[in-house]
Homo-oligomer: A and B are copies of this chain.
């Protein structure tokens, strides 16, 4: 008997009909001889509806009350699913985050899970129940309701799977797996059968939007395989798991893009120790998360600094910098919102030379100028002009032979 954790997103439970479908899938999984724990998001649209009400009442509402409000969304979906499962003749029981002690820190609206009590879930499974747990929500040490931020239900699911030592965590979504790139941009995008945690982490942080990053970190830490699949079909999806031999053949597993960043450039600042620290402390204090950072030395003891921030924080970042410009004495502070980041990701890069060079050459052939570059062990990212995003993705997808499974490795050129 296996223990299966299944997570269904908002679209999968977006209507009465769909909740009934989920119930059927859940019961079918149990009938195969498994114990089943389901983790749910709110019905699609519900969270946005609630946030709309909150903003109508008070756009400056506290994050604590925000969390109380939006956490009601999963309360509705879990009880409705439990009822739907009951109607199929199985026993079901729903639990809120607080009821199974999904303990988080107190950072409302983006809390992080610290511990989960498995006792109540295990007890319910032992008495033959299908257990339905509210995703996205938890409680802090004082019993206040917290939420984990958008996509947090994935993390709830993996965390529940970890604490229960589940055999697999299935993430049901409206796509049928992880693709080599966004199928809306590149018609030749191909579903991956398997991908490593490390690659998935890079893809998620690069804007592939399939899984919340923190959920993959959790899965990696506790060795829980994640099966990303569609709630609208029975097709196998993509397994996110530890690296294995079959993966190593691929130099590049996927091409990601992210249009949600803007770049800020500070030119002509005195090149002395501590200057970068004071700039980035300021940015961090304003609650802005910086992604790529590049520093060039320039002439006359001056230096230039360029970094990217989320687009919604762009104006805020520029204003904050202008305010401290007396201190940092920059010659010029400006930026650009019309940028995008395209990235290639693959654990094969570790053992293959010049992958970055091939990427740059491929972009150059299309006259796409590269504004910033950043690399990790298994990733190369380039910032380019936003309007070339789709072209760049297609070019790179082709360059690294991602469309054709049999010729996926470097020799396919």
Residues of A participating in the B interface, judged by any CB pair closer than 8 Å: 16, 19-20, 50, 53-54, 56-58, 60-62, 64-66, 68-69, 71-73, 75-76, 78-80, 82-84, 86-87, 92-94, 96, 98-99, 143-145
Contacts and interface: CB of A to CB of B under 8 A. Distances in A.
A191 to B, nearest CB: 32
B79 A94 contact: no
A86 B72 contact: no
B68 A86 contact: no
A57 B80 contact: yes
B80 A54 contact: yes
B71 A83 contact: no
23 contacts: A16-B56, A16-B57, A19-B57, A53-B80, A54-B79, A57-B80, A57-B87, A58-B83, A60-B87, A61-B86, A62-B86, A65-B79, A65-B94, A68-B79, A68-B82, A68-B94, A69-B76, A69-B80, A69-B83, A72-B79, A98-B98, A99-B143, A99-B144
Nearest to A80: B57
A145 to B, nearest CB: 8
Q: Which of A64, A72, A143, A144 has the most CB of B within 10 A?
A: A72
Given A16-B53, A20-B57, A66 B79 contact: yes
A108 to B, nearest CB: 12
How many copies the complex holds: the figure is: 2
Contacts of A61: 83, 86-87
B68 A78 contact: yes
B50 A65 contact: no
A82 to B, nearest CB: 5
Contacts of A68: 75, 78-79, 82, 94, 96
Nearest first, the 8 closest Cβ-Cβ pairs linking A and B are A58-B87, A69-B79, A61-B83, A68-B79, A72-B75, A72-B72, A58-B83, A65-B79
Nearest to A144: B99
Contact of A75 (B20, B71, B86): B71
A96 B64 CA distance: 13
Contacts of A16: 53, 56-57
A83 B54 contact: yes
Contacts of A62: 82-83, 86
A164 B240 CA distance: 54
Nearest to A19: B57
